[in-house]
Chains A and B, each alone.
Chain A
Amino acid sequence: MPQYSLRINGKLRTVTAQPDTPLLWVLRDELHLTGTKYGCGVGVCGACTVHENGAAVRACQIAVSAATGKSYLTIEGLSPAADHPCQKAWVEEDVSQCGFCQPGMIMEAAALLGRQPQASDAEIDRIMAQHVCRCGTYQRIRKAIHHAALTSEKKTL
């Protein structure tokens, strides 16, 4: 089986996998980074969202053979002590219910705030509507994103 060298959470990791294996399963089965979740496998629920060179992407839609030479960040690597403003805001606003979608939601929100710290409600809705939360925690997610935006702003001042 072919080997691939992947940059994940700042480290180069070598994995052995078939070329068409989605990054999602490489992360989960080979690297045991299980914070990235399987929800649909067809890119419509957002549970497997990771960052690719800083942009939010669906790990179930990226073949490992296309993942070399790029830099990926998973929920485990988002912040050293799980204290990214989004993670803190999610806890502070008591967002999670079953929690299964939340790592993907947080990765999406972190990427959004990274490029657009003052995202409007409409923009937040448009981006986050790519994700499914079957527990319906949307109201608190919205609040948490605003909360995170505020704390990130204070930090940069």
Chain B
Amino acid sequence: MRITRRVFLRDGSRSAIGLTLAFHLDFSALAAETANAQEFAPNAFIRIGSDNVVRLWAIRSEMGQGVRTLLPMVLADELEADWDKVTIEQARMETRFKGIRLRTSGSGSAAGTWGPLRKAAATAREMLVTAAAQQWQVEPATCRAENNTVVHLPSDRKLTYGQLAEAAAKVPVPAKPRLKDAKEFRLVGKPVKRRDGAAIVSGRAVYGLDVKLPGMLYAVMARCPYLGGKLVSCDPAPAMKIAGVRRVVPVHTGFSGGVAVLAANTWAAIKGRDALRPVWDKGPNASFDSDSFMRELEQSLSQPGFPIRRRGGAPAALAASPRKLEAIYEYPYQVHAPLETMNCTADVRAGSCEIWTPTQAPEAAQQEAAKLLGLSPDAVQVNVTMLGGGFGRRLQVDYVLEAVEIAKAAGKPVQLLWTRDDDMKHGFFHAPKIERLQAGLDANGNLAAWLHKSCGPDLSVLGVPTEADRKNPNFYSDDGMPWGLFDNPYNLPHHAGDFVPIQSPVPTGPWRAVMYPSTVFARESFIDEIAHATGSGPLELRLRLLEPGDVLDLKIAKIDRSRLIAVLRMAAAKSGWTSARREEGGRLWGRGIACNVYSEDCYLAQAAEVSVSKDLNDIKVHRIISAVDCGLVLNPLGIEGQAESAIAWGMSAAMGGKINFRSAQAQEHSFADFKVLRMDQAPRVETYLLQGSDMPGGFGETAVPTVAPAIANAIFAATGKRVRRLPITAAKLVAG
């Protein structure tokens, strides 16, 4: 299989340095490293001790999506382990997990591990049953595993997993273990609470900055504030005058290079860094301004793009249409700003290195640290701590490399902290977009032509397309990109989708929902505009454009329109859908709807209810309901939590902050000027589930992209004002 950019984003099969990571689908075939004699260690994820404790390893990073609960649930259910006796440990980059993917991306944790984890656990369960049957000299078929025990049904004899551990280790590995039937699940599908809940609320959960090593120094860096600029010189003296500062060292790797201040404590390192007056070469982008760049993108709409979708002759059909609609939408730069800033603790010794870091990409951390140090990857151990939020930012390992380089220079363990200001200014930002939508309507108001042109930077972490790439018209469409444009689910008679990549000097990378937010904001707003212009009704028009509820075959993706219809109908029913405006309490109330399919396996429709004061100076989002079909539901509590979280994320971008660059510098410093959703603005969130498949789909990002258009559409329903440029602010409503 060709390793595509799409696959990279979802699975990370191609890292920025071009390595290919093996991903063994059949985990159970992997031999475990030698365990002690009393232990049953059938594979890398399961160990059962003679004490009857079942230890399970989570092979994805916990960043709030609940994966340290979800993956062990899958294992424990299939293993018939006692959930109360299970302990959960975090997999790390070490020999034992060699060849097993630990990277966490693309909302793929559940879907990507569901089959292999079940098989691994079923294998272990059958070996335990066989061990018991051998001991009792009975047929394995007369025995059953339940609750950490094997029971001989006819005699009701019981042996615990602990009692069987030593014997089970000697039983041959079954080639095709029986997987449980869905109706036998005890944990899967049930509302299971987070296993880390108690540790978190007591302050015991260990995040990156909570790691303490003996003799550790604390580091904070001055990075070049100008995009693409570099360090010219730096006098260490002002920092060295700060009590507690030990050293000032140059840093060449990581985000932009710079200077690190090493100190006996964090505060001295921060003060030392702030005291430095480095001389920077502003580099080639010194005049970069994001407002000017957005205007440049808008002008670039006249350029021919890469064809992404083609059906019929859209330009001719548009030209021939008696009525035409056109709208331009804008999605600005965004930063991830997880609450825990980037950080990494590293200990570099002669010939080896150990890293403790909140990362979504432990493989890349290991490979790139090894390369930096000239070591073999096996000499680098990466411990994954809890992540205080990830959202795609922690797929980059810039901060890991900085820490490794600094620790090597220091000759001591070093903990590198990014301050909030560092985090705001040195991100891998969400790429901004200008999206132009055009529609041709026939004499009866039916949609005859649909043209969608998306214009903006590619994700810079994927590398700049080569000259040959640019000559290949299918370069993006072969990878199913851009998301939301490529997989537009509607049945449009004449359809043209185009992408015009225009690069900016701003580093860009995956942000929650990656490419969907801008394309879906534009598409779902424009459908609403057409509905209002033709008097069709926003829900009814969507349903009509999804007829006949067939499967849209895009070769590398298949979209089942009937599943999208089903969630739209459910969202309408649960929200008491109406497109009518009402007045109440001196305010204008309206509802908006939007829908999307995330990466072909997760279908979602969302309805928002808003009210706006009559002078338009105050907008309030009251309620957002989601109807979701993400296939088999593994943990409804987790799905509901991810819907709440994704809606808050989508609202932060829709109604809150954006990142502005002036003179090649991000202007925002903290949550004071980069506005994110807070509790007083948080709407009531309701989530309803449908199950349209017996395979789990990924849901961490799905509910993000529809939030902005659902709200914009609701505001239009309430006020007749259309906001096409995010963020939505009262000032924009008043102005126009």
Contacts and interface: CB of A to CB of B under 8 A. Distances in A.
Are A and B interaction partners? yes
Interface of A: 1, 17-18, 20-22, 25, 28-30, 32-42, 44-45, 47, 74-76, 82, 86-87, 90-91, 94-103, 106, 124-126, 128-142
A29 to B, nearest CB: 4
B30 to A, nearest CB: 30
Which 8 A-B pairs rank lowest in CB-CB distance, beginning with the nearest?
A: A35-B203, A136-B648, A100-B388, A97-B64, A98-B64, A99-B200, A82-B202, A75-B203
Contacts of A76: 202-203
Contact of A137 (B267, B641, B676): B641
A144 B619 CA distance: 27
A131 B645 contact: no
B197 A132 contact: no
Interface string B667-690: 001111000111111101100000
A30 to B, nearest CB: 7
B95 to A, nearest CB: 29
Interface stretch (B338-346, B361-369, B401-409, B445-453): B338-346
6 contacts: A34-B209, A76-B203, A90-B197, A98-B339, A100-B339, A138-B682
Label chain B's interface by main secondary structure: loop
Given A75-B202, A134-B339, A1 B243 contact: yes
Contacts of A22: 267
B259 interface: no
A137 B685 CA distance: 11
B202 A140 contact: no
Given A35-B204, A42-B670, A87-B202, A29 B193 contact: no
B677 A136 contact: yes
Nearest to A122: B680
Given A29-B218, A38-B417, A82-B204, 4 more contacts: A45-B420, A86-B201, A91-B197, A136-B647
Contacts of A32: 212
Contacts of A124: 679
B386 interface: yes
A129 B680 contact: yes
Interface residues of B, number: 66
A37 B193 contact: no
A34 B203 contact: yes
A140 B417 CA distance: 30
B682 A21 contact: no
B266 interface: yes
Contacts of A47: 339
Contacts of A133: 339, 648, 679
Contacts of B207: 37, 100
Given A30-B265, A76-B202, A97 B66 contact: yes
Contacts of A99: 64, 196, 200-201, 205, 386, 388
Contacts of A141: 679
B200 A40 contact: no
A39 B267 CA distance: 14
Label chain A's interface by main secondary structure: loop
Nearest to A138: B682
Contacts of A139: 644, 682, 684-685
Given A36-B203, A37-B388, A29 B244 contact: no
Contacts of A129: 678-681
B271 to A, nearest CB: 8
A136 B644 contact: yes
Contacts of A131: 678-679
Interface in B357-376: none
A97 B388 CA distance: 9
A25 B194 CA distance: 29
B266 to A, nearest CB: 5
B196 A34 contact: no
Contacts of B21: none
A134 B389 contact: yes
B726 interface: no
Contacts of A29: 218, 265-267
A113 to B, nearest CB: 15
B468 interface: no
A39 B420 contact: yes
A96 B203 contact: no
A52 B338 CA distance: 27
B275 to A, nearest CB: 13
Contacts of A98: 62-64, 338-340, 386-390
A38 B679 contact: no
Contacts of B649: 134, 136
Contacts of B268: 18
B89 interface: no
B337 interface: yes
Contacts of B663: none
Interface string B643-676: 0111111011000000000000000011110001
B53 interface: no
Contacts of A90: 197, 200-201
Nearest to B685: A139
A39 B340 contact: yes
A37 B201 CA distance: 12
Contacts of B337: 134
Contacts of B390: 98
B334 interface: no
Interface in B478-493: none
A34 B205 CA distance: 9
Contacts of A142: 679, 682
Interface string B197-222: 11011111111011010000010000
B648 A138 contact: yes
B123 interface: no
A98 B207 CA distance: 10
Interface string B243-281: 110000000000000000000011110100000000000
Given A132-B678, A133-B339, A138-B682, A94 B648 contact: no
